[in-house]
A and B are shown apart, each in its own frame.
Chain A
Amino acid sequence: ETGVTQTPRHLVMGMTNKKSLKCEQHLGHNAMYWYKQSAKKPLELMFVYNFKEQTENNSVPSRFSPECPNSSHLFLHLHTLQPEDSALYLCASSQGGEGGSGANVLTFGAGSRLTVL
């Protein structure tokens, strides 16, 4: 266990389904992130929450909806997805805030592999 747990690890859904990805961290971190990882592409930052406040939304389509009820839990709600949304979705956490390396080192979960049919 890396300290960041993601469920489910694998998800197959149709384009009309609604599902949610869950992330939980036990590290006492204050920042949580959603990233999309596609084969042979750089990690794409989707959303950032710092102290439960959303601080980044990188032009992500509205069919992806994040929720951060507290500093330990992060959700990604999915609805009416497209086949091109199939990817590995990684959750990460960090100490939070700006500054040096300690605040910005990310601890990742193992990811949720999403397939949209």
Chain B
Amino acid sequence: GQNIDQPTEMTATEGAIVQINCTYQTSGFNGLFWYQQHAGEAPTFLSYNVLDGLEEKGRFSSFLSRSKGYSYLLLKELQMKDSASYLCATMDSNYQLIWGAGTKLIIKP
């Protein structure tokens, strides 16, 4: 079957670094997405990885290892506004998105 696993909740401190992991098992693979969703708001696109390695976008980086079925989202210099849910999703061989349940990130001062 197809499955995405990510931690339900994480807590980190303002100014620190946090890594949110995502493991997946899907029928075929056409890339992995990360979205950010603040409470009561729309999910917004953060990153897309289809090749192995690290993609950096400012304070946010996303890593992919296709052989391990593993990705992580790395957030540096955490700010209070980074408190949100982070959704991992993979695209299978039919270009269908398979979603994880999301990781709620709580930032403390």
Contacts and interface: CB of A to CB of B under 8 A. Distances in A.
Interface of B: 4, 8, 31, 33, 35, 40-45, 48, 50, 87, 89, 91, 95-102
Contact of A43 (B40, B50, B91, B99): B99
Contacts of A106: 35, 43, 45, 97
A82 interface: no
A47 interface: no
A59 B48 CA distance: 28
B42 A4 contact: yes
Q: Do most interface residues of chain A lie in helix, strand or loop, or is the interface mixed?
A: loop
B100 A42 contact: yes
Given A40-B8, A42-B100, A43-B87, A101 B48 contact: yes
A47 B44 CA distance: 20
Contacts of B31: 100-101, 104
A90 B43 contact: yes
How many chain A residues sit at the interface, stated as a range, is 20 to 34
A107 B101 contact: no
Given A43-B97, A104-B97, A110-B40, 14 more contacts: A2-B44, A40-B8, A40-B102, A42-B4, A43-B99, A45-B97, A90-B42, A101-B31, A106-B45, A107-B45, A108-B35, A108-B43, A110-B41, A111-B42
Interface string A92-110: 0000001111001111111
A4 B41 CA distance: 12
A100 B49 CA distance: 11
Nearest to B43: A108
